[in-house]
A and B are shown apart, each in its own frame.
Chain A
Amino acid sequence: MRHLIAIAVASFAATTVSTAQAADFALSGQISYHNDLAHIDFSVAAGNTVTLWTDSWQQGRNFDPTLALFSANGTLLAVNDDYFDDAFPDRTYAGAGGYDSGLTLGSLAAGSYRLVLGATFNAPVGTQLVQGFLYGSETPIALIDWNQPTYDMNTNDQKGGFWRLNLSGVEQAAVVPEPNRYAMLAAGLLSIALVVRRRQQKR
């Protein structure tokens, strides 16, 4: 959860986009530690099939991602590590490699959702977002020093922290700023306020 450099780039793939029409988005960013998580909020209109997938694994150049989808109130709806699904072997995701993640959701109710992207096997611990993730209590390990459990030791891959998420059939999508940043911002504001108050008291 720490040190997330959320360089979120939202690019509109669709040529004509309006708020009423579902769009295709590609969001990307960088994680630095093995238990970093990227949070993405998106909203859905009724009747759309929503497809979410990564294409950043790139044969091990970057980490192996896992996606966890939560409802607006933080209930776990779906988890996917690898896009390939025995039940839907013909389902394809453009650009996705073997360890990329993908979800196809045909029955999402209109509303907003929270998607969490992390490094496999950092999956949700329970059925609620507040219950956290498997690696959440571990001391952060810089990716460069970490062998992801899914890595290939013969090529020593999985050192890149880049991720890219594609969203299809959603209304809008954005990377949520790292919660710690709010905390730091709040702490900073608080300290300024304290200094100001002390100065005022000295007068």
Chain B
Amino acid sequence: MGRPTKVQPVRTGNSRRDFFKRSGAGTAALLAAPALLPMSAQAAVNTVFQHGVASGDPLSDRVILWTRVTPATAKPAVTVSYVIATDPALTQVVLRGSAKTNPGRDYTVKVDPAGLKPGTTYYYQFSAEGATSPVGRTKTLPTTGVTSLRMAVVSCSNHAFGYFNAYGRIAARADLDLVMHLGDYLYEYGAGQYGNVRTPEPAHEMVTLADYRLRHAQYKRDADSQAMHRQHPLVAIWDDHEITNDGWKDGAQNHQPGTEGDWNARVAAGLQAYYEWMPVRPVNVNKLRDNHRGFAYGDLADLLMLEERLSERSQQLTTATHVTPFGRGFATTDPGYGDPSRTLLGEAQEAWLVDRLRTTPARWKLLGQGVMFAQLKAPGANQATDPGLYFINGDQWDGYEPARNRLYAAIKGDATHAKVDNLVVLTGDIHSSWAADLHPNPYNPSVANGGYDKATGAGSLAVEFVGTSVSSPGVDTDTTGSIAGALRFYNPHFKYVQLTRRGYMLIDVNRDRVVGEWWYVDTVATPSNIETFATAFEVRHGENHLQASAQTPSRANPPLLAP
């Protein structure tokens, strides 16, 4: 094919030191430091800004800048100053400011400096308590003349399950406009409950505000996470694990009120820590559970970020009875399946989404959302007695069919509304890689009768790219791809299924097409700089279905990375 399928690791300084730093051995070195190092060397260890810097939720004139201060002793208030410049050496200063933090916000700092120029790369640095932070790099959204958007899409970053090597690879890409995190940024489990490469802090499941804060702090001390945050603005939504597994409005699979207390109190604690520790701009401080929001990337793309867990989601179906090789599945005739009152988004968010889809002037509508939109069915385990196909994941849109069909109706248009073209759904959650054409019933092969043709893509209304996890496990036993192959056999709308690899998606958008590339790291069991390009699919303007694509070129002369 003439394109590289394996990228050699970038050598950045002393790789062995880098290895020990990333592997957590630095903690031991720090503990030993007072006895072994002269005072000057000890002072060089940045304890005040040990959680790094981050930026996020860029707009055309502002972007959230984040850090966390760790004072030597507890203080009721800490003043933090910051500087924003257009060069990595911070000589071309465009803005200086001050802010404060205190123990009531866990010493986290979030500022939203306005007056920046659109489509511009900036470098920033905080100072407090006599120390300066690492220099961060960020970028505002463009407004006009936009021909290209290039971003990484990640999800499911589980510290306990392995190293965030994907974050490290993303940090090394200088030509990205932003990083989109589709949720499960952190996981709630205690030591050994879900992953044992690294030990979570605290060692028990996070339930209280103190627990959530400690866990966020641990994730923010990860070297690869710090590197990614330092180089790119983040646009993040949460999925379930930011609070706990398979959450919905009034509870979760992994929440036991008897031992873990009131659900609302737990959500409030988890969200308080989330807003403290994440570079996100609250949409409504009076309803922190709802963070759905849009980002206009000029007239090229509208990034529509959805909230699918805490504000309105109905409880998952509990009626799955049909035995499949993937556990118990459910059928369209099962109780609750056709209940139109069951919802993922709620009425207000659904109306907002439909309105944005219909009215945005942007060429592409990119939905950033948590759970798979495409149908996923598996056959009954005993085809002789149970020959049907059953939905196997009630937590994804399959469990909310009437709500999904309302969106399909909006996409199709009606007598008074035009059809919605160029919708690309971006999804995380499922720890594996999928590319799908989207159709209300892709199992009907007759296009003439409103169905979908898997050979030509005819009938498809939109497309979906599902990114694999940064580190959470997929179906890692599928080494031959036979399970993925079987799933594609039963689900004709999938063009690509890969269940075993960890990594990220690279989305490259121009006015003619959106390309989705899957990049995989070689391992998450140890720190590694090796990544591999796997495959790419694209959707062309006005076509609304996938076709094979190729790796897109990096941009020439990107702005310098932060030092």
Contact = CB atoms under 8 A, between A and B. Distances in A.
Interface of A: 59, 64, 81-84, 89, 97-99, 120-121, 147, 149-150, 152-156
B104 A98 contact: yes
B285 A155 contact: yes
A112 to B, nearest CB: 30
28 contacts: A64-B100, A81-B77, A82-B76, A82-B77, A82-B79, A83-B76, A84-B75, A89-B73, A98-B76, A98-B77, A98-B103, A99-B76, A99-B77, A99-B102, A120-B100, A149-B100, A150-B79, A150-B99, A152-B104, A152-B110, A153-B110, A153-B112, A153-B281, A154-B276, A154-B285, A154-B288, A155-B285, A156-B282
B275 A154 contact: yes
A81 B79 contact: yes
Contacts of A81: 77, 79
Contacts of B110: 152-154
Interface residues of B, number: 23
B479 interface: no
Nearest to A60: B104
Contact of B100 (A83, A150, A153): A150
Contacts of A147: 112
B528 interface: no
Nearest to B72: A86
A99 B103 CA distance: 11
Interface string B92-125: 0000011110111100001110000000000000
Contacts of B47: none
B551 interface: no
B272 A154 contact: yes
- What is the interface of chain B mostly: helix, strand, loop, or mixed? mixed
Interface of B: 73, 75-77, 79, 97-100, 102-105, 110-112, 272, 275-276, 281-282, 285, 288
Interface majority SS (helix, strand, loop, mixed), chain A: loop
A47 to B, nearest CB: 31
B79 A59 contact: no
A65 to B, nearest CB: 12
Given A64-B100, A99-B102, A149-B98, A154 B76 contact: no
B105 A154 contact: yes
B93 to A, nearest CB: 17
Nearest to A154: B275
A98 B104 CA distance: 9
Contacts of B98: 121, 149-150
